[in-house]
Structure 1
């Protein structure tokens, strides 16, 4: 029986455009690649997960405590969330996504890490607007907030997200962190000096990590940025 080289696993119309999950065989590598597109724009690919994993690894490494309550903004392919679960100090993990379709993909087991994610009793998948949650008065606090939704602090998927990257928006994020808690953010752009100044105004120990990874499609090396910042006393 012939093996399909391309399969559209799901498609939905959303408020931000057409959301598509597809699987394709990458001939150069001989592996299945899972990709998410929003309209004509590629959002994520299972070929490039190093920085998504580093978001969890670097963020959680900046916290010295145990019994960590962690929230991830943006579910996507699930690699950030699963990397957080690999840290035995994580007591609970809530993943917030504005698109119920993405949550449904994992609940249906459509992605490589779905079973590992949904099968862990520490995991809660929440359909909500992460940015609205951060604007609201906190009803509880977390030891770590890991965010991977927008392309970068300057390039948002939706204009309504922009306020989070201001000083006042970052202060609202800080309010959702327990003392000593960590805010970590993935970005597709190089380190942004202006954004670093804003982070320094609100948080302590601010670091912008450059995460390099091999790009099998170009044959070169690509880079993302992971910002890590702590809430002091």
Structure 2
């Protein structure tokens, strides 16, 4: 994984694939904002999988109340180092927010060890619902991994998964794991009319 800079803009790459850029982040912010809207309340415990450049985190801090608790699981320590170093101007004061805990660990392990704990789980770990960064990430998107996420949520809680591309079968997998599913297309960047990212909102029924 590499952090690249060009004319004041930054991007995080995995091999030849760009995972995150500092220019276009409207859909990453929507991941948090739209989840909070669908929950209908601003309190609770939120788990974010993937720190990235902090855009989902920033939107979560803005959306949830002062009584909330936000945990970010980031597997790669140098991503946290970048957040406190060359990307500090992008993160602003987010990392010092008292609601925030950063856990340098595998988000799958946190999910698997939890029962009825989270109001929301936001996943932006890969570029979609497959193990791009490492094969083990398939555990997040397979049937038993989705059932673990279902168990980790409180009743009415939402699992939200960001993707750079559509996946016609993934919504079915979510339903088979017991979720009520909504898929939303959001602009890939501000003003985009023909490029979209995708978010699945999977709610645990009451």
SS at match of 1:207: strand
Distance, in Å, in 2 between the alignment partners of 1:150 and 1:173 is: 16
Structure (1 or 2) with the larger CA radius of gyration: 1
Number of residue-to-residue matches in the alignment: 205
Distance, in Å, in 1 between the alignment partners of 2:114 and 2:189 is: 39
What's the offset of the Cα at 1:109? 6.0
Counterpart in the other structure of 1:77? 53
SS at match of 2:149: helix
Counterpart in the other structure of 1:185? 161
TM-score if structure 2 supplies the norm length?
0.90
Encode CA deviations 1:69-120: one digit per residue, 9 max, x unaligned: 1110000000001100001436111110000111112233624332331121
CA RMSD in angstroms comes to 2.1
Alignment of 1:101-180 (within 5 A): 101-108=78-85, 110-134=87-111, 136-138=112-114, 141-154=117-130, 156-180=132-156
Distance, in Å, in 2 between the alignment partners of 1:42 and 1:158 is: 15
Of 199, 202, 206, which residue of structure 1 is paired with 2:174?
199
Counterpart in the other structure of 1:24? 6
TM-score if structure 1 supplies the norm length?
0.80
Structure richer in helix, relative to its length: 2
Moved more, 93-102 or 192-201: 192-201
Q: CA separation of 1:98/1:88 partners in 2, compared to 1, >3 Å: closer, same or farther? A: closer
Distance, in Å, in 1 between the alignment partners of 2:116 and 2:102 is: 17
Encode CA deviations 1:142-169: one digit per residue, 9 max, x unaligned: 1000000111114522111113212211
Q: CA separation of 1:107/1:224 partners in 2, compared to 1, >3 Å: closer, same or farther? A: same
Distance, in Å, in 1 between the alignment partners of 2:131 and 2:106 is: 18
Structure richer in strand, relative to its length: 1
Structure 2 segments unaligned to the other structure (5+ residues):
none
Alignment of 1:198-217 (within 5 A): 198-214=173-189
Distance, in Å, in 2 between the alignment partners of 1:209 and 1:107 is: 32
Distance, in Å, in 1 between the alignment partners of 2:64 and 2:141 is: 30
Q: CA separation of 1:22/1:56 partners in 2, compared to 1, >3 Å: closer, same or farther? A: same
SS at match of 2:113: coil
